[in-house]
Amino acid sequence: MIFQIEYLLLIQHLLQDTFNIISAKNLQETIHVDQAKSIIDSFNTQKLPLAWWVGPHSSHYNVGEVLLSIGLEHVETEVEMAALAQDIDSHVTFMLDNFKIKEVDHFKIL
């Protein structure tokens, strides 16, 4: 079976899911259950906790539903993140209604 979706896997080998994450890159289709299980199994064999980040574009492809169907739980929602303004893509076409951009001098303000 060939999977077309690319994923970012950040594995720090720390026993904290914040540092062992999965995120889809350029999601264009629904994730296959077998593919999701395979990715999760790679963390489980190393006995590492994980966090699978599901962004707003992922909802169009039922990623959350697939992950819930194989036993993952939705346990937190991040409401703040930081990025340098110069790094924000100008081609962003979708933002949540309550999305806010706040200029800060340093990350401690967040």
pLDDT in tens, 93-106: 777 777 676 776 66
Nearest Cα residue to 56 out of 98, 96, 12: 96
**Edge-to-edge strand list for the sheet holding 6-11:** 6-11, 20-25, 51-53
pLDDT bin (cut points 50, 70, 90) of residue 89 is: low
Q: Within a domain: residue 84?
A: no
Give how many domains the chain has, as a whole number. Answer: 1
Task: Work out the pLDDT band at 5, boundaries 50, 70, 90.
Answer: very low
Structural domain contains residue 57: yes
Does residue 24 fall inside a structural domain?
Answer: yes
Query: Is residue 17 situated within a structural domain?
Result: yes
Residues 6+ apart with CB under 8 A from 74: 64, 68
Residue 83 lies in a domain: no
Evaluate if residue 65 carries a pLDDT over 80: yes
pLDDT of residue 7 exceeding 60: no
Percent of the chain with pLDDT over 70: 48
Q: Residue 66: inside a domain, yes or no?
A: yes
Is the CB of residue 65 less than 8 Å from the CB of residue 99?
A: no
Query: Which of 35, 89, 27 minimizes the C-alpha distance to 58?
Result: 27
Closest among 85, 14, 65, 6 to 39, alpha carbons compared: 6
Question: In terms of residue numbers, what domain contains 31?
Answer: 6-78
Asked if residue 36 is part of any domain, the answer here is yes
**30 CB-near residues (< 8 Å, 6+ apart):** 61, 62, 63, 66
- Predicted structure pTM score: 0.55
Q: Write down the mean pLDDT value for the chain.
A: 72
What's the confidence (pLDDT) of residue 69?
A: 93
